[in-house]
Chains A and B, each alone.
Chain A
Amino acid sequence: MIRILRQIFTTGIVTEDVLGQEEAHIKVVGDRLEEAVKKRFRGSLAIRQVDAGSCNGCELEIHALNNSIYNCERYGIHFTASPRFADMLLVTGPVTRNMEIALRRTYDATPAPKLVVAVGDCGCNSGIFGETYASLGGIDKVIPVDAYISGCPPTPVALLNGILRAIEGK
């Protein structure tokens, strides 16, 4: 136990204010994000992440939003297990034929405002997988999308930026 406590105290707070070495404008993203979440979602934005067919690279970066460096909870953003509690769906793709129905159902189960953010090159336009018998294309081929975050995969900072764009746009 003493070791755990020591580790906690010597680690201190590693969460980065300015999101590391990224350019200066990123500094504002956090503040604006917090502001927007406060204003539009009463300080708490619940996100349901849906993998509609990704290669799992995008998931790794979405995971990273939760680590202590990016720590998205400080802006009031948290991931929820059920679409019923979600304000936003963060969807990675391409939408596979085998996931289409599950994605539609998740969308239907989400209450308004149902913000949908398409994540990754695949989520935006199907990426390298194209439109085939098995891959239906980007997320907007199946459900309406409010914002797009490109990148393969998008970095955690790009993800935060994209989430901000989505809630400011509404």
Chain B
Amino acid sequence: MSLLKDAIISALGEDVRFRENYQHPASVVFCTVPKAKFTEAAKAMKRSYALLAAEWATEETPWFGIFACYRWGSEYLIVKTVTTMDDPAFPTLTKKYLPAYRFERQMNSLMGVVPEGHPDLRPWLKFEDWPQDAYPLRKSFDASKPMPRVEGEYRWSRAEGEGVYEIPVGPVHAGIIEPGHFRFQAVGEQIINLEERLGYVHKGIEKRFESMRWEDGFRLAGRVSGDTTVAHSLAYCMALESMSGFVPPERACWLRALFLERERIANHLGDIGAICNDAAFAFMLYQLMRLKEGILRTNSELFGHRFIMDRIIPGGVAVDIDVKGKEKILSELKWLEKEFEKLVTIYDENPSLEDRVRGTGVLLPEKARELCAVGIVARASGMNLDCRIFNPFTPYDQHDRIEMDVPVLVTGDVHARTWVRIHEVRESTRIIRWLLDNMPDGNINGTIEPPSSEKAGFAAVEGWRGEIIYWLQSGPEGEINRCMVRDPSSVNWLGLEQSIPGNIVPDFPLCNKSFNQSYSGHDL
């Protein structure tokens, strides 16, 4: 029985309706409520300690569907309400859930639905020079045409007073990094406010999905955020498979887990190095990049791509591993472990580094919870979340065999976010060994039928940054009507904004690196 389901029934009684055979997998509860009860449903969820995982809109002509997805432990519950196209308003959830703040701005900008009572409806992702009435996610919007530029201005939040000055940074930054704009208000060295402005790499991905065939979408998903290509394509494939009622062969699932863990190690190594580099300890960056390069080369040798891109496909995976490949990875792990542990000791014993990372960029546990943070950011701020444990696919569901040990720290500073990564590298190394030693034989993929009309699929996968959610919906003709993508960055960017005030300006790059959120995954 689902606790969240009970909670919403006892709060809304007759008003909540459950739709059978629509949402897949069936473990995800799907219900509809009247528009007037949308906030009440949120209240009931809040009382049950659920977190808001995502909020999005669809067009199901002549309606707009408004969706909120809640998570508590291993349960997911989706609440839907509808609003007419003539009156696209719906009650805001911002009073109950902070992350709704950005979700709803985005829905307002791209779908043109109006969250009533939202405190700040400045456009998000949409820039001031877009035509006012351009709502790309609406069906009537012709995505193939370029849009004219119009006059407009973005209203930045301001801080005033004696000695307050402003530093605008970006969108083109100093390093080899994605574009985004940050505006600091500072007094002396101290930052009193940070405002993020993102959307520069908005490529119209969600709209693009709607023009694709089901069997091709995984490639686009694998390019939502290139550094997370494995986890994104996996989440897409799993959502699609759930809709088609297809269960991939067991070996395929194990290989997927292998790719996922290799992606995690590679990225964490790079991140730990980059964090140290921003604390003026370049030694670690060069050492760790050397280890990362080793992993990427093995990927290329065994799986044909340095980032294992396009190797997870609907129905399974595209490459297998043989005995020689297994031996190769096992000996690589031995080398990696030895080298990595030496570096961890150096990190740990370096007081000047410690000085920079401890107490810097603190995201307090209560803030992280309020923001419904996910992934490493959440785990460094006391939240015990990980889809591999709470929403596992095979083989992660064999809890007593795999014995996952996910690190959770409470200080919420740069050090904690680094340390969580260090732990995870160790843990992923152990998991990969276990996967290779126990991997079942069999096929690595199967043929999957496209889903029938009017269905929805859902998947949540723990990428290296954190939980990635895909929600797919088929239209009346069985086509892709909507593909909602929620990268961990969509929520965690708010965490960065909250952790900065009180820090000094020169520490910003360090804090930013410790979050290392994706611009592309956020901007879509």
Q: Which residues of A approach B to under 8 Å, CB–CB? A: 3-4, 7-8, 11, 14, 20-21, 49-64, 66-69, 79, 81-83, 94, 96-99, 102, 106, 127-136, 152-153, 155
Write the chain B residue with the least CB distance to A65.
B176
B391 within 8 A of A: no
B192 within 8 A of A: no
Supplied contacts A56-B178, A133-B146, 5 more A-B pairs, CB within 8 Å:
A57-B223, A60-B307, A67-B290, A132-B144, A133-B141
Residues of A within 8 A of B306 (CB): 61, 155
Residues of B within 8 A of A62 (CB): 176
The smallest C-beta distance from A49 to any residue of chain B, in angstroms, reads 5
Measured between alpha carbons, how far is A127 from B141 in the docked complex, in Å?
Answer: 22
B207 within 8 A of A: yes
Segment touching A, from B195-203, B249-257, B323-331: B195-203
Contact of B199 among A7, A59, A98 (CB under 8 A): A98
Residues of A within 8 A of B518 (CB): 56
Contact of B143 among A99, A102, A132 (CB under 8 A): A132
Contact of B346 among A7, A51, A57, A82 (CB under 8 A): A7
Residues of A within 8 A of B286 (CB): 67-68
Q: Which residues of B approach A to under 8 Å, CB–CB? A: 127, 134, 136, 141-147, 171-172, 174-179, 199-205, 207-208, 219-220, 223-227, 229, 270, 283, 286-287, 289-290, 292-293, 296-297, 300, 306-307, 309, 342-343, 345-346, 349, 518-520, 523
Measured between alpha carbons, how far is A97 from B227 in the docked complex, in Å?
Answer: 23
Provide the main secondary structure of the chain A interface: mixed
Write the chain A residue with the least CB distance to B126.
A98
CB contact under 8 A between A128 and B219, given known A11-B290, A51-B201, A98-B202: yes
Residues of A within 8 A of B208 (CB): 128-130, 132
> Is A98 a contact of B127 with CB atoms below 8 Å?
yes
Measured between alpha carbons, how far is A3 from B284 in the docked complex, in Å?
Answer: 12
Contact of A53 among B203, B297, B307, B343 (CB under 8 A): B203
With contacts defined as CB atoms under 8 Å apart, how many contacts are there between chain A and chain B in the complex? 154
The smallest C-beta distance from B74 to any residue of chain A, in angstroms, reads 31
CB contact under 8 A between A68 and B204, given known A7-B346, A55-B225: no
CB contact under 8 A between A129 and B201, given known A56-B225, A60-B227: no
> Is B342 a contact of A3 with CB atoms below 8 Å?
yes
Provide the main secondary structure of the chain B interface: loop
CB contact under 8 A between A60 and B349, given known A54-B201, A132-B207: no
Measured between alpha carbons, how far is A58 from B127 in the docked complex, in Å?
Answer: 25
A-B contact pairs, 22 of them (CB 8 A): A3-B349, A51-B176, A55-B226, A55-B520, A56-B227, A56-B520, A59-B226, A60-B227, A63-B270, A67-B286, A68-B289, A81-B175, A97-B146, A98-B202, A98-B523, A102-B171, A106-B172, A129-B204, A131-B146, A132-B143, A134-B136, A152-B309
> Is A133 a contact of B204 with CB atoms below 8 Å?
yes
> Is A20 a contact of B297 with CB atoms below 8 Å?
yes
Which 3 A-B pairs rank lowest in CB-CB distance, beginning with the nearest?
A57-B226, A134-B204, A81-B174
Measured between alpha carbons, how far is A117 from B289 in the docked complex, in Å?
Answer: 25
Contact of A57 among B143, B290, B307 (CB under 8 A): B307
Measured between alpha carbons, how far is A62 from B306 in the docked complex, in Å?
Answer: 13
Residues of B within 8 A of A132 (CB): 143-144, 203-204, 207-208
The smallest C-beta distance from A6 to any residue of chain B, in angstroms, reads 8
Residues of B within 8 A of A51 (CB): 176-179, 201
